[in-house]
Structure 1
Amino acid sequence: MSTLAIGASRVGYETKGYFRSLDTVFFTFLFPLIMLGIFTAAFSSSGDIGPEGAQISVGAYYLPGMLAAGVLLSGVQNLAVDIATEKSDGTLKRLGGTPLSPVSYFLGKIGQVFVTGILQAAVLLLVARVAFGIELPTEPARWMTFAWVFVLGLVTSALLGIALSAVPRSGKSATAVVVPIVLVLQFISGVYLQFSMLPEWMQNVASVFPLKWMAQGMRAAFLPDEFKALEQNGAWDLGWVALALVAWLVVGLVISRITFRWIRRDA
Structure 2
Amino acid sequence: MTAVRTTPATRPAPPSAAAIGLARIGLELRLFARDPGQVVFSFAYPVIMLVIFGSVFGDEVVVPGVGFRQYFLAGIAATGVMLTSFQAVGTAVTEERDRGDLARLQTLGTPALAYAIGKAGQVVITTVVQLALLLVVAAYAYDVPLPTEASRWLTFGWVVVLGILAGTVLGLAVASFIGSSRSAGAGIPAFAVVLQFISGVFFIGSDLPAWMDQVAALFPLKWMVQGMRSVFLPDSAAVAEQAGSWEHGTTALVLAAWVIIGAVVCARTFRWRRAA
- Corresponding residue for 1:25? 39
Q: Alignment length, in residue pairs?
A: 262
1:187-224 CA distance string (max 9 Å, x none) = 11111222221111111111111100010001011101
Is 1:251 matched with 2:265? no
Letter of the 2:42 counterpart: T
What residue ranges of structure 2 are gaps of 5+ in the alignment? 1-14
Letter of the 1:20 counterpart: R
Distance 2:199 2:36 in 1: 27
Shift of 1:49: 2.1
Distance 1:206 1:29 in 2: 25
1:5-20 aligned at under 5 Å gives the runs: 5-20=19-34
- Corresponding residue for 1:74? 84
1:50 to 58, 63, 86: 63
Distance 1:103 1:84 in 2: 17
Distance 1:29 1:257, change over 3 A: farther
Question: Is the Cα contact below 8 Å between 1:50 and 1:56 reproduced in 2?
Answer: yes
SS of 1:257's equivalent in the other structure is: helix
Letter of the 2:70 counterpart: A
SS of 1:232's equivalent in the other structure is: coil
SS of 1:82's equivalent in the other structure is: helix
Is 1:38 matched with 2:52? yes
Distance 1:116 1:137 in 2: 22
Question: Is the Cα contact below 8 Å between 1:149 and 1:214 reproduced in 2?
Answer: yes
Distance 1:168 1:21 in 2: 22
Shift of 1:259: 1.1
1:87-166 aligned at under 5 Å gives the runs: 87-166=97-176
Distance 1:176 1:21 in 2: 19
State the structure with more CA Rg: 2
- Corresponding residue for 1:61? 71
Letter of the 1:50 counterpart: V
Identity %: 43
Question: Is the Cα contact below 8 Å between 2:170 and 2:262 reproduced in 1?
Answer: yes
Question: Is the Cα contact below 8 Å between 2:62 and 2:204 reproduced in 1?
Answer: no
What residue ranges of structure 1 are gaps of 5+ in the alignment? none
Shift of 1:171: 1.4
| TM-score (norm. length: structure 2) | 0.92
2:224 to 201, 208, 214: 214
Distance 1:100 1:200 in 2: 46
Distance 1:69 1:26 in 2: 16
Question: Is the Cα contact below 8 Å between 1:29 and 1:74 reproduced in 2?
Answer: no
| TM-score (norm. length: structure 1) | 0.95
Question: Is the Cα contact below 8 Å between 1:189 and 1:212 reproduced in 2?
Answer: yes
Shift of 1:24: 1.8
Letter of the 2:49 counterpart: M
Letter of the 1:251 counterpart: I
Distance 2:203 2:98 in 1: 36
Shift of 1:26: 3.4
Distance 1:33 1:4 in 2: 34
Distance 1:12 1:214, change over 3 A: same
Letter of the 1:204 counterpart: Q
Q: Structure 1 residues 70-79 or 186-195, which shifts more?
A: 186-195
Instruction: Flag as ranges the 4+ runs of structure 1 deviating above 6 A.
Output: none
1:201 to 193, 197, 211: 211
Give the alignment's Cα RMSD to 1 decimal: 1.2
SS of 1:49's equivalent in the other structure is: strand
Distance 1:139 1:108 in 2: 33
